[in-house]
Amino acid sequence: MNNIYDIVIIGSGPTGISCAIEAKKNHFSTLILEKGMLTNSIYHFPTNMTFFSTSLKLEIGDIPFVSHNEKPTRMEALEYYRRVIEHWELEIKFREEATSIDNQGNGFTVSTINGTYDCNHVIVATGFYDNYRKLNVLGEDLPKVKHYYDDVHPYIQQKVMVVGAANSACDVALETWSKGADVTMVIRGDELYQKIKYWILPNIQNRIKEGSIKAYFNSTVKKITETEVMIDTPEGVLSIDNDYVLAMTGYTPNYKLFAQFGIKWDSTELQIPIHNKDTLESNRKGLYIAGVIKGGLRTSRYFIENTREHGEKIIQDIILKSSIS
């Protein structure tokens, strides 16, 4: 026999949690399905990361977020969201990846690697951090190539190549350089991303200008070997000695998963999932999207602080349509 719920939410990030809280406030039976662990993306952020947003802007569920400083750390956020789900007694199934969403009567059957769940509505809040942009070059699968930065310690006195020009790339380049790494940056455009955090941009610009960090602009990675990286530059192809490649090239929504869920997206270069901007209902009646995936490939537009209200929008639409029917 299938498990039956009013609402199934896919993803236990802050947006998924806030959707579940809003559903519970309105007495809907709700289940969150999470393929990894609670706030899986935040858990995989760099160990010493500090949020750009203040703790006040990260609060959900009417639970105060108290941190030691104005801008909380990754560890503080993990502890906070643990307290939130405990307070609201949310039902979450971890390590249970959703694989398909099929129509079932007037509702849906959500299939996972472990079972099936019947529900009247589905909210997809999967984020994008698990789906990195690939370099698509020979050697990208070598163990020395990392698409996620963890901790500075392994890179001490190593030859590190950082690929990218936005916040993550600049943060990583500066931190590894400050601990003794020999850092080279490979940047596809002719300048750094100009919306880099205001306290980071002048620092990285000065390190590049003085030559402490070598930067190749208008350049791309061509090939990676165990000991070198070949890069294509305006001066030609160069071979650079290398121990690690940290590819901070950004992330994208999982469009393969969208296709499995029957969620369509537009044909523009942003590939925005088709949805009602007011209610967040997708092209499938009763199936909603929430969180950062709302922006498609425009991944720098939405954050925790400006997606916290998605749950309220969705639940109010569900209540309205339920009253009409």
Q: What confidence tens digit (pLDDT) does each residue in 210-255 have? A: 999 999 999 999 999 999 999 999 999 999 999 999 999 999 999 9
Give the DSSP H or E segment for 122: strand 116-124
pTM reported for the whole predicted model: 0.91
Q: Do domains 3-131+251-324 and 145-247 have the same CATH topology?
A: yes
Has residue 2 got a pLDDT over 70? no
The per-residue pLDDT for 1 is 47
pLDDT in tens, 84-123: 999 999 999 999 999 999 999 899 999 999 999 999 999 9
pLDDT in tens, 123-140: 999 999 989 999 999 999
Has residue 59 got a pLDDT over 90? yes
- Residue 75, exposed/middle/buried by CB under 10 A (0-12, 13-18, 19+)? middle
Give the DSSP H or E segment for 134: none
3-131+251-324 has CATH 3.50.50.60 classification:
yes
Do 7 and 122 touch, CB atoms closer than 8 A?
Answer: yes
The per-residue pLDDT for 325 is 60
Q: Residue ranges of the domains in the chain?
A: 3-131+251-324, 145-247
Instruction: Read off the pLDDT of each residue in 309-313 and give the average, rounded to a whole number.
Output: 96
145-247 has CATH 3.30.70.1560 classification:
no
- Sheet harboring 182-186: ordered strands across? 145-146, 244-247, 159-163, 182-186, 214-216
Q: Report residue 218: phi and psi, to 5°.
A: 50, 40
Question: Residue 101, Cβ neighbours under 10 Å: how many?
Answer: 23
The per-residue pLDDT for 199 is 83
Do 58 and 72 touch, CB atoms closer than 8 A?
Answer: yes
- Identity of the amino acid at 197: K
